């Protein structure tokens, strides 16, 4: 191929690629993709169609994508398959350490509904008794942080237990069948284990440490569609305020969307706290402590600064 022909072909290819990217961007502008789990404000937001009602006049549709835990949601968000979603404190730390294209958009303090469970007839009576035991949790999830800080409280180290990395759907049967000695988990799985799987609460997270959940956005989405992201955060905040005042309706919404029985979701809803707000300096400091702890233990490959990926709406 002659050089001139090669250059012409290259220009045509580049132009086609640019047009393709432009068409994709235009298509993306008509849809927002929300990642959610079987709990929390986003489930309520979906059930009430709050985002759909808000964005319909703008010609923007909403696509909901369910995840069993935070780590796979972060992977999807990193590659741009999800624009916005809710996770616990640990997934965004692992994601940031891996260079993922994500930012913190909002935060929600967690006040209840998570901790470590053991079987009702277990000889484990204190945190110290976890030494040498098989503790199940999802790697890179908020439960991962709970396990680490719980062990520290009793003077134990991560090496004192046998961590068993399981997703919530896999951990439930393992807990019920004796495959693990203890399970660190959050609602509604926490409530399911308590009521249906003969679980006994060893520790509640709130008695161990302050924790937060976060609303995370894809970095490019936040950069290029900041006004839309702010609207999503505003709707999320409004949904949280509604949920705080209507726990019974929240339980019904959670049950309808997730398929988890109403009695379980009622337990989860009535002990949950719903309060979405900005990522404050205090929350950043708490999250930084988690990140520093993970680095010290060798769970993430490098030190990170949480503040570096906190999104601030440039229009505010």
Q: Would residue 216 be called left, alpha or beta, if left means φ above 0 and alpha means ψ between -120 and 50 degrees?
A: beta
Angstrom CA distances, 191 to 71, 86, 97, stand at 22, 20, 32
Last residue of a domain, one of 188, 205, 222: 205
Angle between helices 281-296 and 90-97 (to 10 degrees): 60
Domain count, the chain: 2
Identify whether residues 91 and 238 lie together within a single domain. yes
Answering whether pTM is above 0.85, one says no
Q: State the residue for tokens 């502008």.
A: 29
Q: Judge whether 231 lies within some domain.
A: yes
pLDDT of residue 264: 93
Measured distance CA(188)–CA(161) in Å, rounded: 25
Measured distance CA(228)–CA(54) in Å, rounded: 11
pLDDT of residue 28: 57
Q: Judge whether 312 lies within some domain.
A: no
Identify whether residues 285 and 198 lie together within a single domain. no
Identify whether residues 96 and 13 lie together within a single domain. yes
Q: Judge whether 1 lies within some domain.
A: no
Identify whether residues 192 and 215 lie together within a single domain. no
Identify whether residues 258 and 192 lie together within a single domain. no
pLDDT of residue 14: 38
Identify whether residues 224 and 237 lie together within a single domain. yes
Measured distance CA(116)–CA(111) in Å, rounded: 15
Q: Judge whether 283 lies within some domain.
A: yes
Q: Judge whether 2 lies within some domain.
A: no
Measured distance CA(293)–CA(19) in Å, rounded: 46
Q: Judge whether 315 lies within some domain.
A: no
Identify whether residues 119 and 102 lie together within a single domain. no
Last residue of a domain, one of 205, 235, 260: 205
Last residue of a domain, one of 164, 183, 205: 205
Q: In what order do the strands lie in the sheet with 199-204?
A: 162-165, 134-137, 182-186, 114-119, 199-204
Contacts of 134 by beta carbon, 8 Å cutoff, 6+ apart: 161, 162, 164, 179, 180, 181, 182
pLDDT of residue 39: 83
Q: Which domain holds residue 162?
A: 112-205
> What residues form DSSP beta bridges with 119?
199
Identify whether residues 57 and 197 lie together within a single domain. no
Identify whether residues 60 and 187 lie together within a single domain. no
In order along its 316 residues, the chain shows pLDDT tens digits of: 433 333 333 333 333 333 333 334 434 579 999 999 988 899 889 989 999 999 999 999 999 999 989 999 999 999 999 999 999 999 999 999 999 999 999 999 988 889 999 999 999 999 999 999 999 999 988 899 999 999 999 999 999 999 999 999 999 999 999 999 999 999 999 999 999 999 999 999 989 988 899 999 999 999 999 999 999 999 999 999 999 999 999 899 888 878 889 999 999 888 888 889 999 999 999 999 999 999 999 999 999 999 999 999 877 6
Q: Judge whether 314 lies within some domain.
A: no
Supply the CATH number for residue 120's domain.
3.40.190.10
Contacts of 56 by beta carbon, 8 Å cutoff, 6+ apart: none
CB atoms within 10 A of CB 90: 29
- The percent of the chain in helix, strand and coil, each rounded to the nearest 5, is 55, 20, 30
Q: Judge whether 316 lies within some domain.
A: no
Helices (H), the chain: 3-28, 41-47, 50-55, 70-78, 90-97, 142-153, 168-176, 189-196, 219-224, 226-245, 247-258, 262-271, 281-296
Identify whether residues 120 and 95 lie together within a single domain. no
Identify whether residues 259 and 119 lie together within a single domain. no
Identify whether residues 183 and 116 lie together within a single domain. yes
């Amino acid at each position: 191929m002659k050089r001139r022909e090669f250059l012409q072909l290259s220009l045509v290819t580049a132009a086609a690629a640019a047009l393709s990217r432009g068409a994709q961007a235009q298509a993306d502008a008509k849809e927002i993709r929300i990642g959610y789990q079987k709990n929390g404000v986003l489930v309520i937001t979906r059930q009430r169609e709050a985002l759909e009602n808000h964005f319909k006049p703008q010609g923007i549709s909403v696509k909901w994508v369910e995840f069993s835990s935070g780590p796979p949601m972060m992977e999807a968000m990193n590659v741009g398959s999800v624009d916005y979603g809710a996770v616990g404190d640990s997934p965004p730390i692992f994601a940031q350490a891996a260079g993922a294209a994500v930012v913190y958009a909002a935060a929600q303090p967690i006040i209840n509904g998570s901790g470590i469970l053991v079987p009702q007839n277990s000889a484990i009576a204190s945190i110290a008794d976890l030494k040498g035991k098989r503790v199940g949790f999802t790697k890179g999830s908020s439960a991962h942080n709970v396990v680490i800080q719980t062990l520290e409280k009793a003077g134990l180290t991560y090496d004192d237990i046998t961590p068993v990395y399981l997703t919530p759907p896999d951990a439930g049967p393992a807990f019920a069948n004796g495959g693990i000695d203890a399970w660190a988990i959050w609602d509604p799985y926490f409530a399911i284990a308590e009521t249906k799987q003969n679980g006994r609460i060893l520790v509640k997270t709130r008695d161990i440490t302050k924790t937060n959940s976060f609303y995370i956005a894809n970095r490019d989405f936040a950069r290029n569609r900041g006004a839309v992201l702010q609207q999503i955060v505003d709707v999320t905040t409004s949904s949280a305020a509604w949920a705080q005042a209507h726990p019974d309706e929240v339980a019904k919404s959670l049950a309808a969307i997730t398929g988890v029985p109403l009695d379980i979701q009622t337990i989860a809803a009535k002990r949950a706290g719903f309060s979405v707000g900005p990522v404050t300096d205090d929350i950043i400091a708490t999250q930084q402590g988690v990140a520093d702890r993970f680095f010290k233990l060798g769970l993430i490959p490098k030190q990170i600064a949480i503040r570096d990926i906190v999104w601030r709406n440039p229009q505010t």
